[in-house]
Amino acid sequence: MQWLDESSKALIENMPLVESLKQIAGQQRTSWHTPGHAGGKGFPDWLRDLFVSADLTELPVTDDLNRPAGVALEAMKMAANAFGSGLTRFITGGSTTGLHILLAMAVGYGGKLLLPRCVHQSVVHIAALMAIDLRWIAAGAYSRFGLLPQVTPQSVAAALEANPDSQVVLVTSPDYYGTCADIPTIAEVVHQYGGLLLVDEAHGAHFAFSSDLPPSAMCAGADACVQSGHKTLPVLTPGAYLHISAAALQSGRLSADRLEQMLPIFQTSSPSFPVAASLDYARAWLEHTGEFAITRQLDNLMDFRSRLSEKFICSPLSMKPDPGSSLFRDPLRVVVCLDGNISRPTASDLLMNLSAEGIDLEFADRRRMVLIPSLLQTEQAWQQLAVALNRLLPEKGGFGLVGDDDLMDGTWRSLMATVPEPILHSGEVLFGRHQQIRVDPAGAVGRISARLVAPYPPGVPLVWPGERLDKNRVDFLVRLMENNASISGLDQQGFWVLA
């Protein structure tokens, strides 16, 4: 039709978002970030076409994703079998929606939840909506290749011991850097206390398909988990899986009825069938090819490491890289660290340089570049990346952080280890009628935060709504802003606090 003709310049110029996406897609950039289908390369042509021609939602001839009974149920049962769960549902709003459903069903309104400070913002929001009573699990275990602390079986046991009235535990594993908690032992600990273990496995949807990767939450004895299929698998954004273990269903710790009740509360009533179909496709593809594809990427990674200058320290292939640690690591979450402490550039500078060359990484903090290789990444792209990185090496000396090297590591870690004074529940602050005002940093110290404040990277909240802003946190956030960090809940005009 004439009015849809792509050559119509005026039409294209009138669609800024379309124009921008068209330009980006036309640049043939190399993707080391989500989604796992790498610009559609992970899908066969016939499936890409089907995504548009069969963009359907519930019809008599399809099925109902929120109350599956026909082909959708069949696909979900096959996914449950492949991922090792007792019951799986396809979520078309990402792990964000999956976590909302999971916490609403497992914790409930006004219920108690044990969790570490390192959680995705979706947890903050559902805790606010459901008036969840939060108890903190101390997290003090680190991997050399990550910034964020992880929980240990001991810290989970200590939290359960100190809070005998709280039985639901939520753990994020793996985190954004690929650091995984010891889920098998944590599951045993939680069950010894009669509790329920939920895992935010948004970054680990590929785990179940290779013994070279850490055990998946479902295989490790967790009661339920969510996985963002779109992050690491050939799945359309924002397709996710919600899995409940067979043991949790059989013991009555979780109930299928309650899940069915929660699904339509949090999922749209028009869920995308193409997104759901891509979750079905990824399951079939992984069963058929997953182990081979993962082994191939680990081989590519080994070759990449051998080509990389020794001034970079690349995360290893082993899932237990830190001797003596209880933590695991996803070898396919590639972290390239800078070795020295002499001069700039920082890792985030290098990310920008690579981007200018058409190579896009997932993110970088000041020390580490983080890559999410698609399971379909080519050998050639790995080699091109090694060449591009080596070319960015400073001629003399090494990398470093000019006196600021605690900016991402030391201070982040010490602030994550402490909890600001809680004054009001986050729900009361986000949804109550308190007056909110903006103040400068000096005026913010001692005030109650009206916002969730989460610097990106790594995107975990440093301050929850309703917590008192202390001087250390305010000073750190100001330093991050001076270094051009993007901070959700905060900008140059100041902090939102309660009047």
Contact residues for ligand PLP, defined by CB under 6 A: 94-96, 120, 122, 172, 176, 200, 202, 228, 238, 240
Give least dist CB 65 to ligand PLP, A: 16
Supply the minimum distance, in Å, between the C-beta of residue 172 and ligand PLP.
5
Residue nearest to ligand PLP (CB): 94
Helix (H/G/I), strand (E/B), else coil: 30 = strand
Instruction: Tell me how far, at minimum, the Cβ of 263 lies from ligand PLP, in Å.
Output: 16
Helix (H, G, I), strand (E, B) or coil at 32: strand
State which residue, 237 or 411, has the beta carbon closest to ligand PLP: 237
Give the β-pairing of 368-371 and 363-364. Answer: antiparallel
Beta carbon nearer to ligand PLP, 100 or 473: 100
CA proximity to 184, closest of 168, 167, 171: 171
Quote the least distance from Cβ 229 to ligand PLP, whole Å: 8
Rg of the chain (C-alpha set): 23
Minimal distance in Å, beta carbon 146 to ligand PLP?
Answer: 12
CA count, 13 A, side-chain hemisphere, 154 = 6
User: CB–CB of 245/60 below 8 Å?
Assistant: no
Query: What token pair was written down for 4?
Result: 């849809």
Question: What are the strands of the beta sheet with 490-491, ordered from one edge?
Answer: 436-439, 494-498, 490-491
- Tell the burial category of 92 from Cβ atoms under 10 Å away from its Cβ (0-12, 13-18, 19+): buried
Measured CA to CA, the distance from residue 234 to residue 251 in angstroms comes to 34
- Closest to ligand PLP by CB, 328 vs 496, is 328
* CB closer to ligand PLP out of 95 and 374: 95
Instruction: Closer to ligand PLP by CB, 122 or 278: give it.
Output: 122
Dihedral sign, Cα of residue 208, residue 214, residue 220, residue 223: negative
Query: How near is the Cβ of 328 to ligand PLP at its closest, in Å?
Result: 16
Compute the least distance from the CB of residue 410 to ligand PLP, in Å. Answer: 23
Q: How far is the CB of 278 from ligand PLP (least distance, A)?
A: 13
Nearer to ligand PLP, 240 or 242 (CB): 240
Where helices occur in 332-425 by DSSP H, the ranges are 347-356, 379-391, 410-416
Measured in degrees and rounded to the nearest 5, phi and psi for residue 439 equal -135, 160
- Whether the upstream peptide bond of residue 35 has omega within 30° of 0, thus cis, is yes
Q: How far is the CB of 218 from ligand PLP (least distance, A)?
A: 16
Q: Which is nearer to ligand PLP, 198 or 469 (CB)?
A: 198
In the bound state with ligand PLP, the residue whose beta carbon lies nearer, of 148 and 497, is: 148
Cβ–Cβ < 8 Å for 92, 243: no
Which CB atom, from 169 or from 424, has the smaller least distance to ligand PLP? 169
